[in-house]
Structure 1
Amino acid sequence: MNYRHSFHAGNSADVAKHSLLIALVRALQQKPGALTLIDTHSGCGLYDLGGEDAQRTGEASQGVVRVFAQPSPLLEEYRAAVMAVNPGAEPRYYPGSPRILAQLLRPQDLLILNEKHPEDVYALRRAMRGTSAAVHQRDAYELWLAMLPPRTARGVVVVDPPYEQTDERARITATLASANRKWAHGVTVIWYPLKERETHQRWKQQLRKLGIPKFLMVEHWLYDSDQRDIYNGAGLFIINPPYAFTQALPPLLEALRAALAPEGHRGQITADWLGD
């Protein structure tokens, strides 16, 4: 499944991913110690929702646009992160994870970004001007391991690939196993699309064999039954989530479900431990 960021900016997957990422980082920031935030597949950093790629799919209308019509205060910090890159009252531009993470930085925190695609890394560097982010152009999985353990005691690695390669899941599994050996207490967030349940179940079985004890799965299924051969939703694997984050999850997940459920569907968003 090809999931290039520019075609899907601001869709339901972005809304859920970025809302949860904000909540996760804020939970970690309840302690004053410095964080290193590492984004392995950063993309362009900023997207024009009126641009050709985004207009071709129109997916923002079922994502960020709906959240701006949703009054839930639990989504207010997400809305504020989007509006921080927009000059007007409506979301014309959408911040990718790099711009959102940059907004969350405290003076003691570090941000490391990576993008391998030449055109995208050029756009990323332009989008991150004026921030303290370090931008790399390397293989994402090589960088993931090379940056561990980070200079600070605590941190988060965000892994958000386009799933263009058939071996993407295998590379994630192998790299996660190595990363866990180098940095067992680190927080890792892995985004994935949901399309075929059978393929996804096989991957979860492989990940379960890694024996990582604190392995949370947050899965957002858009439709009440699987829609054949199309995108059905997305999820996050979160390794070592902080207690403050998991305790605050239920109302946030319900707010996301209510805001993003397609017309005629209730949808479902769940949080479960991989070992359960």
Structure 2
Amino acid sequence: MFSYRHAFHAANHADVLKHITLLATLRHLQQKEAGITLIDTHAGAGLYRLDGDYSQKGAEAQDGLFKLLEAAASQDELPESVQDYLDQVAHFNPNGEARVYPGSPVLMAQLLRYEARDRLKLFELHPTDIDSLTGNMAQLELGRAVQVTREDGFAALPKLLPPPASASGSKRAMVLMDPSYEIKSDYAKVSNVIADCLKRFPTGTYLVWYPIIPRPEAHELPRRLRTLSNQAKRSWVHATLAIGRGEEGDTGLSASGMFIINPPYTLAEQLREALKVVGPALARGNGKGWQVEAGGA
């Protein structure tokens, strides 16, 4: 059973996949000088204590970030995307111990380019998380470049597309959509909102995270996203990571996926190289494995 609050799952295997993908995508998009509107529809709190009560309850970071750190310590060189991810985490842990974990809003905020006028728009509904998110983003002192709003990200997103033009006149946006999926209807909402977004702004880059669980909606979602991408004649990348089953009786999440529409042309190969390291490092039992597919356009 999932918990809506991401604090219970911070730095788990799903975060490793999601954040490596997020950083690799954004780094490539920022190779162009034009500014980007970045949108996180379900932002969470932004920063998480890995030694706090929430994280300790499930200890999911043990099968995610901590295993990857242990594996990385014995390797001379890591894939660029993996190293970038670990460097971003290390930035918030200057003493060398991973006690603080940066969520997606903070990772994107750290990469904002002032000179390019990148903008970050964050949405969150949970009353406690929105307060934490507001405080955490204020500490970064990024001013008007970041906007935090207590609103349903599903409803807010279409109103932001197409995004405002940059100084050069181009319109660019990257959207991260990673709801909790506690409510079964979230799966349909994701595909419906993406369908609307592709009509409003077909050239945007859309990143969708989803859990891989024994529920028909979870297996249908990536198929639906692939169909929407192909119908819109847009390219896509689909990456999955399964760490395998835990101890007997463990009902926690063991696999998840990322579906990216209009990805950088380098992303599929970057993820393959990353998961060659991450997959074995996080593997723990039967059902482990990873896959990266690409197609469209």
TM-score by length of 2: 0.85
User: Are residue 112 (structure 1) and residue 121 (structure 2) matched?
Assistant: yes
Q: How do 1:1-276 and structure 2 match up within 5 A?
A: 1-3=1-3, 4-71=5-72, 72-74=77-79, 75-107=82-114, 108=116, 109-129=118-138, 130-131=141-142, 132-151=145-164, 152=166, 153-196=171-214, 198-210=216-228, 211-213=231-233, 214-223=235-244, 230-262=252-284, 264=285, 267-273=288-294
When the two chains are superposed, the root-mean-square deviation of aligned CA atoms in Å is: 2.3
Structure-2 separation of matches of 1:217 and 1:237: 5
Q: Which runs of 5+ in 2 are unaligned?
A: none
Letter in 2 for 1:84: H
* Offset at residue 53 of structure 1 (A): 0.9
Tell me if the contact between 1:195 and 1:229 (Cα under 8 Å) persists in the aligned partners: no
Letter in 2 for 1:162: S
Does the aligned pair in 2 maintain the 1:204–1:274 contact within 8 Å? no
Instruction: Answer whether contact 1:48 1:93 (CA < 8 A) is retained.
Output: yes
Q: Secondary structure of the residue that 2:151 maps to in structure 1?
A: coil
CA separation of 1:17 and 1:208: change in aligned 2, threshold 3 A: closer
- Once residues 187 and 194 of structure 2 are traced to their aligned partners in structure 1, the CA distance between those partners, rounded to angstroms, is 10
Q: Deviations over 1:161-192 (max 9, x none)?
A: 11121200011111111111000010000111
Runs of 4+ in 1 over 6 A off after TM superposition: none
Specify the code of the residue in structure 1 equivalent to 2:19. H
| Distance (Å, rounded) in 1 between the aligned partners of 2:232 and 2:175 | 16
Q: Percent identity?
A: 35
Distance 1:274 1:193 in 2: 21
**Aligned pairs, number:** 274
User: Where does structure 1 lack aligned partners over 5 or more consecutive residues?
Assistant: none
